[in-house]
Amino acid sequence: MSRHFLSILDLDREQAHALVRRAHEMKRTDCRTTLLSGKTVAMIFEKASTRTRVSFEVGIRHLGGSPLLMTPAESQLGRNEPLRDTARVLSRFCAGMVVRTFGQEKLDELSEWGSVPVVNALTDSYHPCQVMSDMLTMYENTPEFEGLKVAWVGDGNNMAHSFINAAVHFPFELALAVPEGFDPDPEILEKARSLGANITVTRDPREACRGAHYINTDVWASMGQEEEQKAREKAFAGFQVNDDLMALADPQAKFMHCLPAHRGEEVSESVLEGPQSIIFDQAENRLHMQKAILEWVFSE
């Protein structure tokens, strides 16, 4: 039976921490292996991508494999062929599937009907590879997660959901500041709390950021939400991460963003380019965490 990585909760706590340590070691040694030698990994991307696509392509090659990019324009994806058929066909050709799509149910169907590992490279529900690489970035700065406060400012979106899941396995306090009407999925939130995660939700970004060691945000309108841009700008007024919010955080606090960023919207230029920003460490760490995740799913 294949091992999949569809959300952070596919890991147990020991596995989550081990992945962070392994990714850190892979980064330190500029790791190359032959784990995927002679194997092709299908990269099914229904959404455009820079960091996710490049980090997975390079990571697959670092492990000795060959990436095969598939988009709707170049295949039967999104047309009349059922996903269950795609899953079974690709399983005959490829060693695994890395999927960036819209609905989480598409990954569920691919993993159910296929016979090879499936990795979630982003859905509307979760962005687990990004947040696991963020755990690596935090580990590099503060190896002990105990006692940390992590603030999330903005939309209760797929990034927020994956931070909520991460709080189950990593012992930090998560404070989410979200506008009314943009709360995270209550089922995801309650499940994490039931598993012991320390999570608060507030309408006040100042409250979330006060004393925080890490402050995170994301764009106000993600891919597929462009028509909501103006309405979201109005709803998110006051939720920009700027110098005033950063001043409320711990003096050594770091700013994080999964990128791409809209300067002057969810984050000010001064914060994004300032000394507390670690956004490009985050971006680099996508490569090292993707390699650790691929090693985990293919070592089963």
- Residues with catalytic roles: 100, 127, 130, 218, 258, 286
C-alpha span between 140 and 49 (Å, rounded)? 25
Q: Is 223 known as a binding-site position? A: yes
Q: Is 31 known as a binding-site position? A: no
Q: Is 203 known as a binding-site position? A: no
With a CB cutoff of 8 Å and minimum separation 6, the contacts of 209 are: 151, 153, 175, 177, 215, 241, 245, 246, 248, 249
Three-class secondary structure of residue 37 per DSSP: coil
Q: Is 51 known as a binding-site position? A: yes
Q: Is 257 known as a binding-site position? A: no
Q: Is 289 known as a binding-site position? A: no
Q: Is 127 known as a binding-site position? A: yes
Q: Is 76 known as a binding-site position? A: yes
Q: Is 94 known as a binding-site position? A: no
* 248 closest CA partner among 275, 283, 226, 215: 215
Q: Is 244 known as a binding-site position? A: no
Answer whether the bond into residue 260 is a cis peptide, omega within 30°: yes
C-alpha span between 48 and 52 (Å, rounded)? 9
Q: Is 49 known as a binding-site position? A: yes
Q: Is 50 known as a binding-site position? A: yes
Q: Is 183 known as a binding-site position? A: no
- DSSP letter assigned to residue 226: G
Q: Is 286 known as a binding-site position? A: yes
Token output for 1: 């039976």
Asked whether 300 and 3 are in contact (CB, 8 A), the reply is yes
Residue 283 C-alpha from the chain's centroid: 11
C-alpha span between 168 and 191 (Å, rounded)? 9
Asked whether 125 and 187 are in contact (CB, 8 A), the reply is no
Contacts 24+ apart (CB under 8 A), 279-284: 279/255, 281/137, 281/140, 282/133, 282/134, 282/137, 282/256, 282/257, 282/258, 283/51, 283/259
Q: Is 276 known as a binding-site position? A: no
Annotated binding site for L-ornithine: 158, 218, 222-223
Annotated binding site: 49-52, 76, 100, 127-130, 158, 218, 222-223, 258-259, 286
Binding site per annotation, positions for carbamoyl phosphate: 49-52, 76, 100, 127-130, 258-259, 286
